[in-house]
Structure formats: structure tokens, C-alpha cells
Amino acid sequence: MQFVIGTGDALILPHFTPPQNASTMLYRRLGRTDIQVSAISLGTMTWGEQNTEQEAHDQLDLAIANGVTLIDTAEMYPVPPKAETQGLTERYLGSWLAKPGNRNLVIVATKAAGPVRQAHQPKHLRGGTTHLDRANLVSALDASLKRLQTDHVDLYQLHWPDRSTNTFGRLGYPWIEDAHTIPIEETLAVLADLIAAGKVRAIGVSNETPWGLSRFLASSDARGLPRIASIQNPYSLLNRTYEIGLAEFAHRDQVGLLAYSPLAFGVLSGKYRGGARPPGSRLALYERFARYSNPQALRASERYVALAAERGLDPSHLALAYALAKPFTTSVIIGATTLAQLRINLASIDVRLDETLIAAIEAIHADQPSPAP
């Protein structure tokens, strides 16, 4: 197996012996840091809800064997967030990291939950007062480190903004004057101290807007504070809103995208065609995951799945390869509940879409642009 950084240089991973017949992984720089991450990352939000600890470990072993180095988690996982399961995902990752040699194999990314602004956001974390201030960030990180059984995380992300925004599928700016928010400069100052303490290597944002990201970068420049290295936002064939106001940041300021929901909760895999709800699937288990299953999104996904079939491609490969090829993408976060699903998703690293296929994708997008924002 050949492991390639974006520059074409070879990457040596400590204590790592790649197996035969595995995919060719690519590696890309995380922002302006010296951290290289795999172009495919392993998402973990089902661990502790749909996946057991052993299944989580099996997923990690398979992902690592195929060159994945970036593992993404969060303090509020698993999803749907519940008080009785909160933190299990980090605990499952932590018990794997505690095995001899494993911590050296991966880049660990986790997230601190923001304040409760919308009904779906968890109210059970730290009494529901999860603002991005010193007390909350220090408490959140220390608890995450304990669950992860490590003394540092490589990437610490703010799960969502400390202000009301049009994120998580909300259309239109809400024009809400929040009773209390933490200034971005204050949050950055706390993160600077966590980096200085050796608990964090790099920082990122998630579910952020162009205004928010620009303020983070301007505050860093003006005050000599740590710089945002990445942004974790949704991006898929059904949701390309990232391209409008955020994609340019990767070009101008080297803040790359960690794309979540690249398969739109599995809708783009084709498994929900014709109204199907396979037993154990997220749309069968949880009503809250309707964001990607509205009528417009289902019509568009049917066309993308049919296009993949016409070209002899697995529909998951079509969707993932499209996201992977974008110049603003640092890494695509894949999640799976079975090893079979994970193998399919990992194999997308070897798929290249030709110009005619990309043109066909763009034609569908022009007809039905971002039906599931």
C-alpha cells in the first residue's frame, strides 16, 4: 500500500505496518499546522447507541489498517444525545487508545458542546449552561481527556457557535438577540491557554458560518491568538451550501473542511430508495434524522443513485469521491454501523470521477440545488 501526502511526499506512520490489498490513502495538511491527516476520517457518533464497544474497536482496527489516521468524536456523543449514554463514544475510543501503541497511530479530534439554542441540542451537559467560556471549556476538555485516556487531543473543536445561527438545517438567518453569548476573542484566549498547557495541539470550529469564521481569523491575527485550523460542517451532494460562503477560506486562509454527513445519513447510499427503511438504519430508528429525507432530497438522491448505477459505481463511492476531490476538503468523515459499510466507504479513496460524470452531477445539482441544507 502506498500512503501519499498531498504534496506527493511519503508519510511514515509510527508502529504502522499496512496490510496487503488495502486502499491507497491520501494525506493532507490540517490548516497551517504541521499535522497531516488522512483524507478519510472515521466518525464515531453511533458508538454507545447503535454500536457496542467491541464493534467500535473493530471499526478502528479496520480503519487504521486502511490508512485512516483522523478519528472524530465529541463529548456529547453518541447521537441522539441522552444523559444516560453521554460520553460513551469517547470512552469506547479511550479503551482502544489505552492498548499498547495505539495512541501513536491516530490523530484524535473531539468537540466541546456549545450552549443550548435549539430544541435538539442537549440540555444535560454541565447543567445546560454550556457556553464557550473558560469554566466550561476547561471542564469539558478535562472530562474528555479522562474518558479518552490520553493527556492531549490533537484537534479540539467547538461543536457549534455560542450564538444563534442558521445551522443544523435551519434556513434563513434568525435575527435573534441572544441574552448571553461569549465573545469569540474570549473563547480563543481560553483555547490558547489549553494549547500552552499541552492539552491541545490545534483548534477548529464546527457548524460555523462565514461571519463566524472570519471573526475567529481576524481575532487571531489582531491578538496573536491561536488560529483555526479546520471547520467541520456538513457537505454532500444534497447539501453544497458550504461552497457559497465558506469554501474560499480554504484557498485564502488555509482553513480546510472536515466534511460531515457526506452520505446524508446514508440517503446517498441508496438504501432508502423507494421508501425503504432497513431494520436498524438511522431513519428507521430515529425520527429526528429527517433532515436528508424530505421529498426534494429523496428525489435528488434517486437521480444521483441512478447516475451511479449507469456508470457502474457504488452510489456511496459517487458521493464520497465527489466530496474528496474538492480542493477545499481536508478530510471526509465517514461513519458506519457495520464493517461491511465501512469497507465500502473506505474504498472510495480509490475512485476518480471523470469530467463527463462530474458534468452529469452538476446538471442534477443545477436542477435541484442543495435540497437538504
pLDDT tens column, 306-322 = 999 999 999 999 999 99
* Residue of 10 and 342 predicted with greater confidence: 342
- Chain position carrying cell 491578538: 223
Dist. CA 370–CA 300, nearest whole Å: 9
pLDDT of residue 23: 59
In this structure, what C-alpha cell is assigned to residue 116? Answer: 443550548
- Chain position carrying cell 484537534: 155
User: Does the structure show a pLDDT above 90 at 119?
Assistant: no
Dist. CA 12–CA 224, nearest whole Å: 32
- Residue 13's pLDDT band (cuts 50, 70, 90): very low
Kind and range of the H or E element at 195? Answer: helix 184-196
* Residue of 65 and 127 predicted with greater confidence: 65
In this structure, what C-alpha cell is assigned to residue 295? Answer: 421529498
Closest CA to 101 of 154, 61, 45: 61
Dist. CA 220–CA 180, nearest whole Å: 22
| Phi, psi angle pair for 180, to nearest 5° | -155, 130
For residue 28, tell me if it sits in a domain.
yes
Dist. CA 165–CA 211, nearest whole Å: 10
CATH number, domain with residue 81? 3.20.20.100
Closest CA to 160 of 178, 145, 142: 178
43-53 pLDDT, tens per residue? Answer: 999 999 999 99
Dist. CA 287–CA 222, nearest whole Å: 45
For residue 80, cis peptide bond before it (omega within 30 degrees of 0): yes
Closest CA to 261 of 287, 229, 283: 283
For residue 372, tell me if it sits in a domain.
no
* Residue of 19 and 171 predicted with greater confidence: 171
Please give the C-alpha separations between residue 284 and each of 85, 138, 216, 288, in angstroms, as whole numbers: 20, 37, 39, 10
Mean pLDDT of the chain: 92
For residue 373, tell me if it sits in a domain.
no
For residue 301, tell me if it sits in a domain.
yes
Is beta strand 70-72 parallel, antiparallel or unpaired with respect to 40-43? Answer: parallel
Lowest-pLDDT choice from 117-121, 129-133, 348-352: 117-121
Asked whether the beta carbons of 201 and 154 are under 8 A apart, the reply is yes
Enumerate the active-site residues: 77
pLDDT of residue 1: 27
Domain count, the chain: 1
User: Does the structure show a pLDDT above 60 at 300?
Assistant: yes
83-98 pLDDT, tens per residue? Answer: 999 999 999 999 999 9
The model carries a pTM of 0.94
Closest CA to 364 of 313, 303, 292: 303
Please give the C-alpha separations between residue 331 and each of 24, 38, 153, 286, 327, in angstroms, as whole numbers: 15, 7, 18, 27, 11
Give the amino acid at 118. Answer: Q
For residue 132, tell me if it sits in a domain.
yes
Percent of the chain's residues with pLDDT above 90: 83
Asked whether the beta carbons of 352 and 26 are under 8 A apart, the reply is no
Q: Which domain holds residue 301?
A: 4-367
pLDDT of residue 5: 36
pLDDT of residue 68: 97
pLDDT of residue 19: 41
User: Does the structure show a pLDDT above 50 at 172?
Assistant: yes
Average pLDDT of 363-372? 96
3-state secondary structure of 357: helix
For residue 291, tell me if it sits in a domain.
yes
- Residue 286's pLDDT band (cuts 50, 70, 90): confident
For residue 128, tell me if it sits in a domain.
yes
User: Does the structure show a pLDDT above 90 at 175?
Assistant: yes
User: Does the structure show a pLDDT above 90 at 332?
Assistant: yes
Which span out of 7-16, 115-124, 221-230 was modeled with the highest average pLDDT? 221-230
Percent of the chain's residues with pLDDT above 70: 94
User: Does the structure show a pLDDT above 70 at 8?
Assistant: no
- Residue 170's pLDDT band (cuts 50, 70, 90): confident
Angle between helices 295-310 and 355-367 (to 10 degrees): 160
User: Does the structure show a pLDDT above 60 at 15?
Assistant: no
For residue 24, tell me if it sits in a domain.
yes
Please give the C-alpha separations between residue 223 and each of 138, 185, 198, 219, in angstroms, as whole numbers: 21, 8, 20, 6
Closest CA to 345 of 271, 234, 290: 271
Dist. CA 159–CA 294, nearest whole Å: 25
Average pLDDT of 191-211? 98
User: Does the structure show a pLDDT above 50 at 228?
Assistant: yes
